[in-house]
Structure 1
């Protein structure tokens, strides 16, 4: 098929099928765009194909297997990132096969490509002392300090993904003591309502009085920045900069705070705290918005590993065992049956 056919299907997939038929969020659609752009870069770099030359004949089992290796080796991305891009491309080809029967063979060919194997590793969770130091770091003497304290506290308390917090509106908040909750919109536009601490509710009430004093429309962002006298949704880059700025401050009081802090570490910290408090894994799964409990089980594995490492550290203070094979060489050889 021609390049025109390829890009026609790309356009209809991104602008019609995903947003209208699948009703995927703009954030998810952006990740699919990233996957296709990465594929085009790969074809240009390894096959010397210009955009006008790209067609479905360049997408084969062999080229896509090489694509996975290129992402991890040349682009130095993680196996998880490579697999996300592969899954997006498979989804695109599945759509194309439905639109054009001649592409069924291409889809089935690429469908056989195995994902990159991702090494299992424990979630990069912050310790509770580090979390508390990070929450205290902004202070509450200024309006921005109040806002940033709430943002960090809410990301931790609700164990929310960064975009879930940034997508919140005042209408998603309930601050009633004993019944406080936030309604988060997660992956695939799925919503879940999670409880929050009364302390977080009080912070929210104070924040709303200062930053949303008048009744607001249904589309107003809870957290926003002001540019050209207009309110805009706060970006993930804003939050990343803010977290690392306060991490530097928090590290002076708590050396446990790492040099680089990212929002997901707060989510991991909340999940680990719930696990150690005895909350069952299925409840944690629903709280975190995981589609599969196997994703949640990694926290239990990480907790077991931490216990094991603590036991090993404690064992380092115990005296070594007395040697069994001790004495003249001739005696040791005789006892060992060597003489």
Structure 2
């Protein structure tokens, strides 16, 4: 078996040269691709009774890929969206190989012909203003830990930031210039390296000013009780713990993304332009933002009230309009 047939060198070039140097894909995308092949290769090795380092590119047959996708759903209990995400990584690798080696174009075609499974979009969960206020009231602001937790919750609600954007926030990313006649802004690094700025409420500015006092410019804004940068898992745990202490939320799955949805829905209710909300949340397409305009029942009720059909007026024969007949005869 030649080097052109062995899977290992192809995978190394795919990860090191293609997705990093040529495509410059986001770190989360790279991690997703890595996790896909970390699951896929041992599965192939076990099914073919062949060591991973001896696998050939053509060992990754379309039938074996389909079996792997079924294994993800049945044995690992992954969702359809996760299944499609894993398939996207495998298809990207096949496209890369097929574009570099004409001999493997046919193999590439078989892999890329595997269709994604239709998945129903998940329901959008969000909190009412009363529920969000109850969440914000949970941290004990008399303690330093409670103030840190409150600052993080308030920031997520204010900006609608993704959890990765919040934990990566640095002191230098905050522009707290209201006292100098400017605007309080947070600079967020979003998906694909896109940068956006979000305005901060006066209360958020006051809380963050006290929180970052005396810290270096490159220090993390949100830190745990140990003084270390908050992790994604830590933020999830914090929100989960706060939600459990709110009776009306105890049986609901509340995540950082639910707070992001909450921010968007409250902006829609406040009458903010949908394109402004798109820029606020860092969406590439406005069609992604439009879902928030569709799920607000208050706006739907108002729209129905405007279109409500009233009692129909009695119809009158045109012949009964003497003035109209006189007008027509005078022409």
Q: Say yes or no: TM over 0.5.
A: yes
Could you list the per-position Cα deviations for residues 18-58 of structure 1 after superposition, in whole angstroms to 9, with x for gaps in the alignment? 33333334333212211222322442455555423433213
Distance 1:293 1:64, change over 3 A: farther
8 Å CA contact 2:243–2:249 kept in 1: the answer is: no
The verdict on how the C-alpha distance between 1:54 and 1:279 changes in structure 2, with shifts beyond 3 A counting, is farther
Greater RCO structure (CA 8 Å; 6+ sep): 1
User: Are positions 1:130 and 2:120 aligned together?
Assistant: no
Shift of the alpha carbon at 1:154? 1.0
1:275 to 245, 265, 268: 268
CA distance in structure 2 between the partners assigned to 1:259 and 1:45 by the alignment = 39
| Contact 2:170–2:217 (Cα < 8 Å) also in 1 | no
Gaps in structure 2 of 5+ consecutive residues = 305-331
The match for 1:245 is 241
Specify the alignment match of 1:167 in structure 2: 168
Choose from 212, 233, 236 the match for 2:232.
236
Q: Shift of residue 289 of structure 1?
A: 1.7
Over residues 86-133 of structure 1, what are the superposed CA-to-partner deviations in whole Å (9 max), with x where a residue is unaligned? 222222222233443333333332222221211133312222222211
Q: What CA distance in whole angstroms lies between the structure 2 residues aligned with 1:93 and 1:294? A: 30
Alpha-carbon deviations, 1:243-286, whole Å to 9, x = none?
222222233xxx24545321111001111111222223332222
Structure 1 residues 101 and 172, CA gap change in structure 2 (3 angstroms): farther
Corresponding residue of 1:72: 73
Gaps of 5+ in 1: 312-339
2:312 matched to which residue of 1? none
Q: Quick one: distance in 2 between partners of 1:11 and 1:84? A: 20
Which residue among 189, 192, 214 is the counterpart of 2:196?
192
CA–CA distance in structure 1, aligned partners of residues 260 and 206 of structure 2: 21
**Aligned residue in 2 for 1:202:** 206
The superposition leaves residues 72-98 of structure 1 with CA deviations (integer Å, 9 ceiling, x where unpaired) of 233221222222222222222222334
Aligned to 2:184: 180
Q: Highest Rg: 1 or 2?
A: 2
Aligned-partner Cα distance in 1 for 2:167–2:29: 15
Cα 1:226/1:112, change in 2 over 3 Å: same
Equivalent-residue separation in structure 2 for 1:199 and 1:300 (angstroms): 27
Q: Return the TM-score normalized by structure 2.
A: 0.79
Between the aligned partners of 1:174 and 1:30, the Cα distance in structure 2 is: 31
Mapping of residues 15-26 of structure 1, within 5 Å: 15-26=16-27
3-state SS, counterpart of residue 246 of structure 2: helix
**2: distance between equivalents of 1:47 and 1:267?**
45
Partner of 1:149: 150
In 2, Cα distance between the equivalents of 1:301 and 1:65?
A: 36
Secondary structure at 1:260's aligned position in 2? coil
Match of 2:110 in 1: 109
Query: Do 1:122 and 1:302's aligned partners in 2 also have CA atoms closer than 8 Å?
Result: no
Normalising by structure 1, what TM-score?
0.78
Three-state SS of the structure 2 residue aligned to 1:182 is: strand
Evaluate the alpha carbon distance shift between residue 51 and residue 147 of structure 1 in structure 2; reply closer, same or farther with a 3 A threshold: same
CA RMSD of aligned residues (A): 2.8
Distance 1:45 1:55 in 2: 14
Q: How many correspondences in the alignment?
A: 298
Cα gap change, 1:296/1:62 in structure 2, threshold over 3 Å: closer, same or farther? farther
CA distance 1:300–1:73, shift in 2 (3 Å): farther
